[in-house]
Amino acid sequence: MQRLLLIPIFLCLIACQSEEQRAQKFVAQLSATEAARRTEASKALVAMGSEAIDALIRGLSDENPQIREMSAWTLSEIGVPAARIAPALISILADPDENIRVVGSVALQNLGEPAVPYLIDALKAESMEIRLNVAYALGEISTPLDTILPALISTLTDPEWNVRRLVVRALVTIGSPAVESLIQALNSDDPDLRRMAERALSDIGTPEARRAIADAKRQFPSDR
């Protein structure tokens, strides 16, 4: 009887191993010279869904940049669960290859709103490259505003200028919906936060934004 009970477990293990090997084979094919073969592999991995995720996550750290890039795109096409995929994609925002960092940011944008909590956590990452690419992605996703705006505003005082610059760009991308939060920052006690908020409001350029800047100049003349 015990042997009979072990048979389904044994068959399941074989099947699982077979699917893992199949996924690994397709991930390796992502480096194929022919675009058609790369596309074929990516589509097959998307069709496998969650069963391909582990192999694709390993692909993100492959020595071949083509595999890293294609693994990122393919993970974003699978999309769920975001709890597994978003952190993996965030990790490649520090990739030594700039092109792959850009691909990672766009892949996170493709995930959309489900990626937002993980992106907001990553605004505190040690890596500057991660923080600035995360800021860019949040600006492109733009929703939910009640979560994204406070996180971006608080990052306007990041110690790295390049990160602050990308945060300003993200807020400008959001545009008018960001104005109210930026006006609040413009009236902060923190002069660095005021300066970055003014920069963002100036770039947004709505009448409300311009009025707020004029008011702040009168309130904080020492900033000039």
Average pLDDT, integer, range 202-213:
95
Using one digit for the tens of pLDDT, what is the confidence trace for 167-197? 999 999 999 999 999 999 998 999 999 999 9
Tens of pLDDT, residues 139-166: 999 999 999 999 999 999 999 999 999 9
The yes-or-no verdict on residue 7 having pLDDT over 70 is no
Alpha-carbon distances of 186 from 51, 146, 160, 195, 216, rounded to whole Å? 48, 18, 20, 7, 7
- The band of 220, judged by pLDDT with boundaries at 50, 70 and 90, is confident
User: Across residues 200-208, what is the average pLDDT?
Assistant: 96
Band (221; pLDDT cuts 50, 70, 90) = confident
Q: What is the mean predicted confidence (pLDDT) over 36-40? A: 96
Cα 96 to the center of its chain, rounded Å: 16
Question: For residue 219, what pLDDT band results from cuts at 50, 70 and 90?
Answer: confident
**CA-to-CA distance for 219 and 222, rounded, in angstroms?**
9
User: To which residue do tokens 């998307």 refer?
Assistant: 46
Tens digit of each residue's pLDDT (9 = 90 or more) over 80-126 = 999 999 999 999 999 999 999 999 999 999 999 999 999 999 999 99
Mean pLDDT of the chain: 92
User: Given 3-state DSSP classes, what are the helix, strand and coil percentages for the chain, each rounded to the nearest 5?
Assistant: 85, 0, 15
Confidence of residue 10 (pLDDT cuts 50, 70, 90): very low
pLDDT at position 177 is: 96
pLDDT at 24: 95
Residue 57, token pair as written in the block: 């996550």
